[in-house]
Structure 1
Amino acid sequence: MDLKKLQLYKLPIIFVLSCTAFYFSFAYDLDRTDFFKLAGLYLALFYLSFNLIQMQKNNFWFLAGAALVFRLVWLLALPDLSQDYFRFIWDGRLIAEGMNPYQFTPDQLMQQPDFNLSQGGELVAGMGNLSAGHYSNYPPVSQLIFGIAGFLSPESILGSVVVMRIILILADIGTLFIGWKLLKKLDLPQHRIFWYILNPFVIIELTGNLHFEGVMAFFLVFSLYLLYQKKWLLSAVLMGLAISVKLLPLVLLPFLIPYFREKRNLLKLPVYYLVTSLVVMVSFLPFYSEEVVQNFSSSIGLWFDKFEWNASIYYIVRWFGYLDKGYNIIESAGTALAICTFLLIMILTFLRKAENLKQLFTSMLFAVSIYLLFSTTVHPWYLTIPLMLSIFTSFRYMIIWTLVIILSYVAYSNPEYQENLWLVALEYLAVASYFMLELFGRKKPFQALLT
């Protein structure tokens, strides 16, 4: 590289080196109770990353290389912001031992005198009482990944983490290339894919904290890419795999009705749904029994009527419930809000057009946003899919949400993991305000930055 080119790349290289140092600090030198350091690193990474995208938006390989370097920094780090990985490893080692991860809770197995699992006690202690006392709720493709880690690293927690992390990095690479090609097909700026791939939220929550929304995002964007190419049977297979990683894409399926109708292929839609359903059912077959179905269903139900975290509309409903009933009404409120979510998504399905894939992406983005707003639990990594969908639309509020979601981590700064509801309110106020400006404002906010 000559001196002139070196001068041209001087600032971007400084930004990449700075981000690498900050990610290293995040991965190996951060206590999650230190919220000010956590937030400071996160904000700095956001600033540097999005400036880097603006400076090198036409240099695919430079940005792709930076994205890979930032992920490889985490390779040997244990997740600090989430303890879910202990349950992933537990389920994976059960599979490696030929056991069904849906059949028993970890607590039940640990009470059996003849049960023996490598590092079992350490894994149960790490996952915490809440996870150890409930059945696994991770669908089969996720379990397959856990099982691969269990086979390849049966006695090392770090080894299992490395295996799963490599799979997540490969999924992100797939999303990068498929997303890049799909943006080109839709005549949209191709550098938008880096709003996802270089977003610190994605790198920290997926690569760092080992959440498999990244694998789901890959299957989903690949499915929609194949749908655009009119390879709808293969698209249905990939959609089924996305659902079998995490169940969230189920809320997107209704929006294929107006899309297929506009394409005058409505008769093909039942076959699309059938293929998708068959893929999901086949993925469950190795684990199937009536007991397992009951266990899995009960575990999924907990997210609607037992668990609560970083919610918005639900917290308002809960407050009115305390005023009226004097106790937490989550069981009735969670069910009611789930019904409201379903009804709103169905109304949106028939009100919005889907003449092309851009409109389909927008409808799906709104659907997942509705789902999150009415949920009782919104963990940061739940934003992965709507963020990915948003890069194919004209809406940018998800980027703002991935920035302010860091406020939810203030709960880790106290021993009781108590949320600061003022900060939760600030998070949702920022997102709602930005969305309203996008929807009704004459000028798009931060348009120059987010083009």
Structure 2
Amino acid sequence: MSFFTKYKDVLLILISALLYFIFAYFLERTAFNNLLFLWFSLFGCSYLLIKSKTINTSTLIGLVILFRLIFLFAIPNLSQDFYRFIWDGRMILEGFNPYLSLPETYIQQGLHPIAETTNLYAGMGEMNGSHYTNYPPINQLCFLIAALFANKSIFGSVVVLRLIIILADLGILYFGKKLLLQLNLPVKNIFWYALNPFIIIEMTGNLHFEPVMLFFLIWSLYKLKQQKWVLAAILLACSVSVKLIPLLFLPLFFQWFVDYNGITNKMKQSYEQRKNKWNSAFTGITKLIGFYAITFTTIILLFLPFYSSEFIENYANSVGLWFKNFEFNASFYFIFREIGYLFRGYNEIAIIGKITPILTILFLVIITFFRKNKSMIQLITALLFGLCFYYFTATTVHPWYLATPLILSVFTRYRFPIIWTLVIIFSYQAYANTPWKENLWFVGLEYLILYIFLVFELRKNFKHYKIVK
């Protein structure tokens, strides 16, 4: 037995720890070649660690914590959004409603409503500072906690925000393992999320709050599997109140509650059978309405402390910007945009941005009623493809958005989101240019690799379905 074979796991852990340390404290976002080297090296190490037959689950959990703690005292180097998080939290602490004012207004008027006003505005940048905040209330609560513990130190606020995200990831690990066990799936699947370098870097490192959203989402699905749908609805509302994206999932719960296939079955049935089917369907519809009612009521209650007529207008305008103004790392949208340039001579984002949400809604309706979503695995697969369809047609796909399809994939047969988290790094080539500019060749390479793997998986799983059937 060679030295490498004997100590392979130890070497992989040490190399990973060193690379994460370099990534956290020495990497510049503009150094794209260095970024690529660290990124692909960490993915290689992560794959070998998860696949290792000599590392047990307890050790992997230890690595989940260790690799995240390496980032504890680092200032995020791939994103500046955290400055706005800190700003919002301190505004709430000072008694201001963060949804009603723009950071740039205070700067223009020479006002300093919170500590380190100038530094925070400079950090978030003019574009961020000129828009109303769009972070929902539980996300704002996280920002407030950071302000409570460190209202005069950006560094201290970063540490507090990071600890919240680490705790959320540990919660995902806890409930994710429980859900995998209930679904009779390998527990090790959860580490495709928990030990994925993309998650460690983008969430723990760059302070994106998807893990808090996903903690509530996975907990909700776990409770739904246990038939505790009231608590599941409350938890789903909490997830929406961190990030709005789970709102897309609401139609897909229909078949979980309603035996749609049963009541549309055209086979000959006795009167008693038809009666039982319709009674069951009525009970299911009643529960579904209750599920939706509890979800929306909880969301409204969580938003209520910030309510005002100005809030509704500001929040709607802020969310609308993602469909009408922003474009980054898009897939089919960039193709539609080029076609628009060809025929109209200018950017059609205002029109395309309105069409793509309609396409998403139609796709969600199709997979809600024309695909089996009765089992939990079928339901989560529907959630995965519903969300990915939205991202495939969206005008903006920031890297951290992929946390949701990634965690959903570990409960399904599909692994293409793992490949996506690997190749999403190509989108960061835009920051290597001065001024900032996307290179569509890199974007094209990202999606080419993704779609090749997606088609491969779809064909493989279709063949498996035919064999099983």
Q: How does 1:145-160 map to 2 (within 5 A)?
A: 145-160=142-157
Match of 2:42 among 35, 40, 45: 45
2:9–2:55 Cα contact (<8 Å) kept: no
Q: How does 1:74-223 map to 2 (within 5 A)?
A: 74-223=71-220
2:421 matched residue in structure 1 = 402
2:32–2:428 Cα contact (<8 Å) kept: yes
1:281 matched residue in structure 2 = 300
2:324–2:354 Cα contact (<8 Å) kept: yes
> Partner letter of residue 350 of structure 1?
F
2:60 matched residue in structure 1 = 63
Q: CA deviation at 1:199?
A: 0.2
2:413–2:461 Cα contact (<8 Å) kept: no
1:423 matched residue in structure 2 = 442
Q: CA deviation at 1:104?
A: 0.6
User: Residues 357 and 418 from structure 1, CA distance in 2 versus in 1: closer, same or farther, beyond 3 angstroms?
Assistant: same
1:393 matched residue in structure 2 = 412
Q: CA deviation at 1:225?
A: 0.1
> Partner letter of residue 213 of structure 1?
E
2:15 matched residue in structure 1 = 18
2:382 matched residue in structure 1 = 363
- Return the alpha-carbon distance in structure 1 between the equivalents of residues 110 and 29 of structure 2: 36
2:103–2:121 Cα contact (<8 Å) kept: yes
1:58–1:191 Cα contact (<8 Å) kept: no
- Return the alpha-carbon distance in structure 2 between the equivalents of residues 335 and 443 of structure 1: 33
What number of residue pairs does the alignment pair up?
A: 440
1:447 matched residue in structure 2 = none
- Return the alpha-carbon distance in structure 2 between the equivalents of residues 221 and 385 of structure 1: 10
1:178–1:225 Cα contact (<8 Å) kept: yes
CA deviations on 1:263-282 (whole Å, 9 max, x unpaired) are 85332011111111111111
Overall identity of the aligned pairs, in %: 48
- Return the alpha-carbon distance in structure 2 between the equivalents of residues 246 and 9 of structure 1: 45
TM-score, normalising length: structure 1: 0.95
Q: CA deviation at 1:108?
A: 1.4
- Return the alpha-carbon distance in structure 2 between the equivalents of residues 110 and 99 of structure 1: 16
1:56–1:63 Cα contact (<8 Å) kept: no
> Partner letter of residue 331 of structure 2?
S
- Return the alpha-carbon distance in structure 2 between the equivalents of residues 286 and 203 of structure 1: 33
Match of 2:321 among 293, 302, 309: 302
1:269 matched residue in structure 2 = 288
1:136–1:299 Cα contact (<8 Å) kept: yes
Unaligned stretches of 5+ residues in structure 1 = 445-451
- Return the alpha-carbon distance in structure 2 between the equivalents of residues 137 and 100 of structure 1: 12
2:100 alignment partner, SS class: coil
2:262 matched residue in structure 1 = none
The root-mean-square deviation of aligned C-alpha atoms, in Å, is 1.7
Q: Between 197-206 and 254-263, report the one with greater CA deviation.
A: 254-263
Q: Which has the larger radius of gyration?
A: 2
TM-score, normalising length: structure 2: 0.91
User: Residues 357 and 388 from structure 1, CA distance in 2 versus in 1: closer, same or farther, beyond 3 angstroms?
Assistant: same
User: Residues 148 and 328 from structure 1, CA distance in 2 versus in 1: closer, same or farther, beyond 3 angstroms?
Assistant: same
2:86 alignment partner, SS class: helix
1:57–1:191 Cα contact (<8 Å) kept: no
> Partner letter of residue 38 of structure 2?
L
1:23–1:73 Cα contact (<8 Å) kept: yes
Q: CA deviation at 1:349?
A: 1.2
Q: Which portions of structure 1, spanning 4 or more consecutive aligned residues, are displaced by more than 4 angstroms?
A: 6-9
- Return the alpha-carbon distance in structure 1 between the equivalents of residues 461 and 310 of structure 2: 56
2:455 matched residue in structure 1 = 436
The answer on 1:73 being equivalent to 2:52 is no
User: Residues 345 and 22 from structure 1, CA distance in 2 versus in 1: closer, same or farther, beyond 3 angstroms?
Assistant: same
Q: CA deviation at 1:415?
A: 1.5
- Return the alpha-carbon distance in structure 1 between the equivalents of residues 371 and 46 of structure 2: 34
1:194 alignment partner, SS class: helix
The answer on 1:35 being equivalent to 2:32 is yes
> Partner letter of residue 374 of structure 1?
T
Match of 2:354 among 322, 325, 335: 335
- Return the alpha-carbon distance in structure 2 between the equivalents of residues 253 and 210 of structure 1: 27
- Return the alpha-carbon distance in structure 1 between the equivalents of residues 330 and 4 of structure 2: 47
